[in-house]
Chains A and B, each alone.
Chain A
Amino acid sequence: MTTIRQELVNRNSGWAAEMSKGQILTLSARTIIDFVAFNAANPNSAFDQAMTKENNLSIYLRETDGLYSRSDELLMTLISDGFRGLGTHDLQFGMCGRARHKRAAEEGRLNEYLHGHSMKLPDHGCAENLTWALEDWGIKYENIPSPVNFFQNMEIDQDHGGMKRTQVRPSAPVDIVLRAEKDLLVAFSACPDMASKTGGLGVGVLISD
């Protein structure tokens, strides 16, 4: 295995990089990661939650599942999931961010997050982190798809549809390992994770051959 790129991304920050087909992306974390991917040759072909759920016939992203674009291209495969058996990765939510936080505060709904009404709202979130990270590639917010929310373990009532945030996270960082099935642009945000006791942590990232 050859290390192409390795770094630590700080809490509530974004990251983006290009990958070649066959390369491996390893994310090491115990905090929510909002992750997206684009076909490098055609960034309009971006990760899509709906097509991914349809192809995998699952509302969760699991080990061996593919990440698909809206045009049904296989972009990546989740080849190893360190969260398996501990919790599930989410494909329901979008990105947190200023607009979401502001509305939750205005409507008195901050109690949906762990730290509730007493918490200090971050001045930005995943929407801003991903927008800033993808600026160099000219991808605007409205073209950033709703992400895979790694480690966002949700409590879901599948009969009535109700969803609740949980605090289920790994007690120590675990690895999420993804293989690029095409040349890609990948990006993620290390979420401020206001639902958890940690309030968000850094994410280790490694691209290898």
Chain B
Amino acid sequence: MSATTQTTLRPHEGWTGEVKTGQVLRITAKSMIDFNCFEKDNFKEYFDTARTRIYNLNMYPTVNHRLFSKQNNPMMKFIKDGFSGIGLHDLQSSHGCPDLMLKTLGTVKSMTLADLPDPMGLFRNLKISPSGQIKPSPKGPLDPVDIELKAEIDLVCALTNCPSAELSASGADCIVTIL
């Protein structure tokens, strides 16, 4: 599979692009990335964290899980997870950099915070206790790893390179490739 586009994002930069059915979005990174996607011609059909958790019966997205829309349709399949065995991606949290995501999406579709769906937080690695308490536990890979998501429908995807305040010293470039 060859790359059709490749973009480097510095910390606190965002990216949006179309990913067609069957194409693979590769995110190569080691610090936190917030991710959203929308049906290309209908932003009312958006990636939904709750529908995704129900379908996969799992809180932490990883290989072989599918990302689902609010309307309960499959949008993407997680086909490679370079963070597996190191830490966990997150479906509990809100956007780390909501203004940046709104600005990024604003190049395609004007939105307010109320319209902005909750993200998939790559590399966020929360710790959850047996009693359900949430503790942020930032833990990036030492070197950038690949996350690959395969589009099941034509999409607009958006992501922000959003290192947490605790890891601001570890924020690093992220490479976004469409294969």
Seen from chain A, the residues whose Cβ lies within 8 Å of a Cβ on chain B are 44-46, 48-51, 53-54, 57-60, 69-71, 88, 92-94, 97, 99-100, 103, 112, 141-142, 146, 156, 158, 160-164
In chain B, what residue has the closest Cβ to A51? B94
Cβ of B57 within 8 Å of any chain A Cβ, yes or no, is: yes
A/B interface sample: 19 pairs, CB < 8 A: A48-B94, A53-B92, A54-B92, A54-B94, A60-B132, A92-B50, A94-B53, A94-B54, A99-B71, A103-B72, A112-B57, A142-B46, A146-B50, A158-B130, A160-B58, A161-B60, A162-B57, A163-B53, A164-B57
Q: A94-B48, A156-B59, A163-B57 are in contact. Are A58 and B132 (CB under 8 A)?
A: yes
Is B92 within 8 A of A158, CB to CB?
A: no
The answer on a CB contact under 8 Å between B48 and A70 is no
Task: Name the residue on B nearest A88 (C-beta).
Answer: B132
* Interfacial chain B residues near A160, Cβ < 8 Å: 58, 60
Contact at B118–A48, with CB atoms within 8 Å? Answer: yes
**Number of residues of chain B lying within 8 A (CB) of chain A:** 35
- Chain A residues within 8 Å of B115, by CB: 44
Chain B residue nearest in CB terms to A94:
B50
Q: Which residue of A lies closest to B95 (CB)?
A: A50
Q: Judge if B112 is at the interface, Cβ distance under 8 Å.
A: yes
List, in ascending order, chain B residues with CB within 8 A of A142's CB: 44-46, 70-71
List residues of chain B with CB under 8 Å of any chain A CB: 44-46, 48-51, 53-55, 57-60, 70-73, 88, 92-94, 112-116, 118, 128-130, 132-135
A49-B50, A58-B134, A92-B50 are known contacts. Are A163 and B59 too (CB-CB below 8 A)? yes
Cβ-defined contact, A57 with B92, below 8 A: no
Task: From A48, A53, A141, A142, name the one whose CB has the most chain B CB atoms within 10 angstroms.
Answer: A142
Query: How many angstroms between the C-alpha atoms of A57 and B93 in the bound complex?
Result: 10
Beyond A50-B118, A58-B133, 16 additional contacts (C-beta under 8 Å) are A44-B112, A44-B114, A45-B114, A46-B114, A49-B49, A49-B118, A53-B93, A54-B94, A59-B59, A99-B72, A112-B57, A142-B71, A156-B59, A158-B129, A160-B58, A163-B58
> In the complex, which residues of chain A have a beta carbon less than 8 angstroms from the beta carbon of B88?
161
Point out the residue from B70, B71, B94 that lies within 8 Å of A50, measured CB to CB. B94
Q: How far is the CB of B72 from chain A (nearest CB, A)?
A: 4
CB-defined contacts of A94 to chain B, threshold 8 Å: 48, 50-51, 53-54, 70
